[in-house]
Structure formats: structure tokens, C-alpha cells
Amino acid sequence: MHRTISALLFAVLALCAGQAVSGRVALAADAAADPRMVEHGLGNPKAPVRIDEYYSLDCPHCATFVVETLPKMTADYIDKGKVYLVLHDFPLHEPALQATMLARCAPPERFFPMVDTLFHVQQGWVGSLPALKQQAKFAGLNDTQIDSCLNDRGLEDAILAERLKAEKEVQIEATPTFIFNQKGSDRIVSAAPYGDFQKKIDALLK
């Protein structure tokens, strides 16, 4: 993967524009058809509070949320059926894009464990493709699958299309960003203290 993420985003934008002119469905819609782009959520989808998190696997603030806040939120709300947390890919840099692709290529039941591990050992693989590949092996991928995944332009474009859609439709500008009950104006940006999440969730549960 030699293209920079800026070049990749430009290419996806150009392709989307080309499809709009020809009358074809936009790339973001086509991307959703890829079974690897299935929605990944923690908790009960029918929970009264839905939180959509836009994250980048190389984002330190995202890692802080996973390590320090998510376990408390899981115990207090997710495991009790009060919150449904949905993850959305928003890779900021090429290492995050590569890591996201590998997480999407892992068996579905390994997606969350792999993402969780990548955040916990973030400093050990960011900037080191061999170290990232090793994490992918721990998630059940072999060398052939890893190389095939990293060279899959269809998956690459699908992930970037999801990011572009988030920028355009939800005005996501930074990671992590948390949207509550799919109301774009109701959000927390960055790894806020757990108390901030508690206040927001408790207010929505009333």
C-alpha cells in the first residue's frame, strides 16, 4: 500500500463524483454491500441509548477511551442493556487504515477482540507494519490472508467511503467522536472523563 491516505481519499471522491454523473449508486452505498463492512456493535441493538463512535486505531485518545472508560461503560450500561455502542471506521493515517483493513478481514467474532488489543498495545505497532501483521496473526489470519487483505483496493475504498460519508453527513472532524441517539448535535468529542458519559447517558435514560 503505497498511496497516502490523502491521495486515497481524493481518489474515492473522484470515483464518487464519476458515479454520480453516470447515474450509478454512490460508492458509499456500494461499499455497504461488502459483507466485511457489516456494522459492529456492543450490547443490545434495541437499547434505549445508542452511541456511535467514530474512531481511528492510531488515535491515542481513542485508546484512552478503550482502556480507561469503555470497561466502566460496559459494566454500568452496555452489559445491562441500556447502551448500544456502534463503531465506525475513521482512519486518520495510513497505519490506522491498514489496521482497520486487517480488523475487517479477521473472522467476525475476532473483530472486537482485535480492535481492543490494537488499542491496548497501540504504541507497539503504530509505525511498524511487521508488528501490525503479527497482531493480525494473533487474530487468526495467516500470511497469505494478511497480504491479500492489505492489497484489497475494494475494501480500502469501502473504509474510506465510510469515512467520507461521516465527514459529509455527520461532520466528523476528530477522533474519537461520540454521537448520541443518532443526533449529530448531541456529541462528545475526544476521550472525555467517564463522568461526562455518565451524565449524558443518565439524562437520556430518564
* pLDDT single digits (tens) 104-143: 999 989 999 999 999 999 999 999 999 999 999 999 999 9
State the CATH number of the domain containing residue 46: 3.40.30.10
**Distance of alpha carbon 165 from alpha carbon 46, whole angstroms:** 24
Q: Which of 154, 184, 178 is nearest to 87 (CA)?
A: 178
* pLDDT single digits (tens) 8-19: 554 544 444 444
Confidence band (pLDDT; 50, 70, 90) for 20? very low
What pLDDT, on a 0 to 100 scale, did the predictor assign at position 191? Answer: 80
**Distance of alpha carbon 51 from alpha carbon 36, whole angstroms:** 21
Per-residue pLDDT averaged across 26-35, rounded? 53
What pLDDT, on a 0 to 100 scale, did the predictor assign at position 19? Answer: 41
3-state helix vs strand vs coil in the chain, percent to 5 = 60, 15, 25
pLDDT at 101 over 70: yes
Confidence band (pLDDT; 50, 70, 90) for 5? low
Per-residue pLDDT averaged across 71-84, rounded? 98
Confidence band (pLDDT; 50, 70, 90) for 174? very high
Confidence band (pLDDT; 50, 70, 90) for 36? confident
For the chain, strand residue ranges (E) read: 40-42, 49-55, 83-89, 177-180, 183-189
Calculate the average pLDDT of the chain: 88
What pLDDT, on a 0 to 100 scale, did the predictor assign at position 190? Answer: 87
Residue ranges making up the domain that contains 189: 5-205
pLDDT at 1 over 50: no
Indicate the number of domains in the chain.
Answer: 1
pLDDT at 100 over 50: yes
